[in-house]
């Protein structure tokens, strides 16, 4: 599967847990793949993997095994569709201890090699501001911050953006507001964070879109299927197809 153009790498992150990073990552990946792109999902939650759980996959080899054994990373990819792959992570590994500088540089070369076979690599991170979260955010072309209208989510997103911009020289953040009651609430949440980031960090945050609080997402998580596949007409699915279109525009900006 040779490719000519460099892939677009994106990291889906949040600070706070439970705001929908993993659900959005896998469904967004499907939306992009549906539009014809070759897409890789990377489970960047290296200590408490959950992409595989959400998709009900049976995992044989993980990122950890690739790092430990030097095995071919492409052989660890599980294909959901011919153009949609998943690179799974391990569960129950204390990643903060194990992801040392040597691992970080190996992880960088593994992800660069493997991503070159795809048009997009979407990396779902752990919650918090631990070393792997900061690493993935520093590695990618684009940082997507997922937040909900909940004030704690806003505060955590601000803290994450502050660290990434101040200590890791990241400047381009794209915001997705999830679990919103309306597009208006999503936009308002974006504007609140945007104003604070402008005032205190001198950053212009980009608005990528709003995903509504939608029962079909919850049902899909329980049933271990993709809502975008089984309920493509749902409000959440429509929002994700729109997000996929905007992400395609980011690709045009990158290449
Ligand atoms: N748009 C949404 N509408 C309804 N429920 C959602 C939505 N997004 C996420 N959820 C629910 O929130 C919970 C956490 O989602 P998850 O993707 O695991 O978050 P994270 O990866 O950020 O921890 C799941 O139970 C999921 O069903
Ligand atoms: Mg998650």
What digits encode the pLDDT tens for the residues 133-144?
999 999 999 999
pLDDT at position 3: 46
Cβ atoms of 247 and 140 within 8 Å: the answer is: no
Q: What is the pLDDT of residues 57-94, one digit of tens each?
A: 888 888 888 888 878 888 899 999 999 999 998 777 76
What is the phi/psi pair of residue 234, to 5°? -65, 160
Q: Which has more pLDDT, 42 or 62?
A: 42
More confident residue, 95 or 239: 239
Residue 192 belongs to a domain: yes
Q: What is the pLDDT of residue 130?
A: 87
Residue 43 Cα to ligand 2 middle (Å): 9
- Determine the structural domain holding residue 235 and report its residue range: 8-254
- Tell me the CA–centroid distance for residue 225 and ligand 1, in Å: 13
pTM (global) more than 0.85: yes
| DSSP strand pairing (8-13 vs 120-125) | parallel
Position 254 scores a pLDDT of: 65
pLDDT in tens, 124-135: 999 988 888 999
Q: Identify the CATH number of the domain in which residue 157 sits.
A: 3.40.50.300
| Residue 1 domain-assigned (yes or no) | no
Q: What is the pLDDT of residues 149-166, one digit of tens each?
A: 999 999 999 999 999 999
Whether 2 is covered by a domain: the verdict is no
* Cα 22 to middle of ligand 1, angstroms: 7
Please list every protein residue whose CB sits less than 6 Å from any atom of ligand 1: 14, 17-23, 127, 178-179, 211, 213-214, 217-218, 221, 236
For the CA of 25, the nearest atom of ligand 1: 17
User: Closest ligand 1 atom, CA of 16?
Assistant: 22
Provide the number of structural domains found in the chain: 1
Within a domain: residue 112?
A: yes
Q: Whose CA is nearest to atom 8 of ligand 1?
A: 20
């Amino acid at each position: 599967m040779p490719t000519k153009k460099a892939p677009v790498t994106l990291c889906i992150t949040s600070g706070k847990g439970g705001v929908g990073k993993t659900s959005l990552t896998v469904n967004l990946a499907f939306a992009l793949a549906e539009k014809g792109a070759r897409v890789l999902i990377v489970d960047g939650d290296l200590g408490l993997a959950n992409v595989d759980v959400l998709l009900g996959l049976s995992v044989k080899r993980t990122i950890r095994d690739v790092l430990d054994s030097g095995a071919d990373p492409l052989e660890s990819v599980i294909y959901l569709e011919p153009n949609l792959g998943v690179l799974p992570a391990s569960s129950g590994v204390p990643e903060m201890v194990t992801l040392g500088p040597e691992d970080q540089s190996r992880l960088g070369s593994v992800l660069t090699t493997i991503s070159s076979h795809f048009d997009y690599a979407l990396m779902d991170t752990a919650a918090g501001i631990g070393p792997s979260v900061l690493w993935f955010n520093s590695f990618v072309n684009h940082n997507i911050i997922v937040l909900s209208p909940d004030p704690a989510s806003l505060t955590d997103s601000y803290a994450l953006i502050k660290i990434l911009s101040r200590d890791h020289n990241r400047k381009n953040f794209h915001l997705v507001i999830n679990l919103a009651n309306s597009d208006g609430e999503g936009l308002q949440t974006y504007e609140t964070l945007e104003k604070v980031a402008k005032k205190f960090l001198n950053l212009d945050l980009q608005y990528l879109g709003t995903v509504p609080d939608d029962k079909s997402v919850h049902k899909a998580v329980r049933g271990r299927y993709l809502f975008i596949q089984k309920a493509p007409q749902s409000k959440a699915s429509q929002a994700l197809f729109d997000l996929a279109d905007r992400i395609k525009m980011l690709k045009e900006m990158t290449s």
